Amino acid sequence: MKDRTSSSKIYLDVVESLRRMIEADSLLPGDKIPSERELSDRFNVGRSSVREALRALELLGLIETRRGEGTFIRDFQEHKLVELLGTFFLQDKKVQEDLAETKRLIEIDCLRIVAFFATAEDIKRLMGWVKAEDFRDDDFFLRIAILNRNRLLERIWRIINSYARTSEIVQGNVKKEDYLSLLTYLLERDEEKAIETYLIRIRNMSKDE
């Protein structure tokens, strides 16, 4: 029998089937997916194949399993596999550099968008937060990424950031004034100055890319 067209790796078929199922049933984070036994039944594959797929997705942080309860879709924001990849094989030099550079580019893109589209209120609220709270650099840029209304770009930033965090990219001690002056330029819609402030004062770079 075995009518599956794709010639190899049942567990990959299962991953795909799960994807489709989630899509079709519009399952959201927190929702429960059928039990392993039922899936194995529904897809006509052995339970072990289903498990291989589920374990892989679990390691990716896309699902969560609780013994005795079931398997649930997870909030994708927090793929914790990142640490894994980090501890695993992220010691490559070139990758580190690319990572840092890409992160900078994305952040600049976000700044540009914010400078154009964010409301004055949003920016002022962020300024209040900067004054009030104690925060890390990536807390700040997470908020920037959220302010830009492009969810995809935000997600890309989150992913890259979580990778970058595992590496030893040490943030120099940046001061609140720098963030505030950056925000001030954003408020004035002065994209140019904002980016200059970002590069020079926050990322300690010269004015090239």
Chain contacts with DNA (rule: CB under 7 A): 8-11, 35-38, 40, 44-49, 51-52, 54, 65-71
60's contact among DNA, a second copy, none, with CB below 5 to 8 A by partner kind, is a second copy
- Give me the least distance between CB of 147 and DNA, in Å please: 37
DSSP 126-151: HHHHHHH----HHHHHHHHHHHSS-H
Cβ proximity to a second copy, 48 vs 204, nearer residue? 48
In three-state secondary structure terms, 70 is strand
- Give me the least distance between CB of 156 and DNA, in Å please: 29
The three-state (H, E, C) secondary structure of 118-132, written as one string:
CCHHHHHHHHHHHHH
Phi then psi for residue 71, to 5 deg, are -120, 135
Q: Is 94 in the site for a second copy (CB under 8 A)?
A: yes
Q: Which token pair is 157? A: 């930033």
Q: Is 98 in the site for a second copy (CB under 8 A)?
A: yes
User: CB under 8 Å, gap of 24 or more: what pairs does 35-38 form?
Assistant: 35/70, 35/71, 36/71
Q: Is 168 in the site for a second copy (CB under 8 A)?
A: no
Q: Is 35 in the site for a second copy (CB under 8 A)?
A: no
Is the C-alpha dihedral spanning 169, 175, 179, 185 positive or negative?
Answer: negative
- Give me the least distance between CB of 12 and DNA, in Å please: 8
Nearest to 140 by CA among 98, 196, 181, 97: 181
Q: Is 51 in the site for a second copy (CB under 8 A)?
A: yes
- Give me the least distance between CB of 79 and a second copy, in Å please: 6
Instruction: By CB under 8 A, name the one of 121, 152, 172, 173 that touches a second copy.
Output: 152
- Helices 10-24 and 47-60 sit at what angle, rounded to 10 degrees? 70
Taking CB under 8 A as the criterion, which residues in 174-203 touch a second copy?
none
Contact 87, 166 (CB under 8 A): yes
Residues making contact with a second copy (CB under 8 A) = 8, 11-12, 15, 19, 22-23, 48, 51-53, 55-60, 62, 67, 76-77, 79, 81-82, 84-85, 87-92, 94-95, 98-99, 101-102, 105, 109, 112-113, 116, 150-153, 155-156, 159-160, 208-209
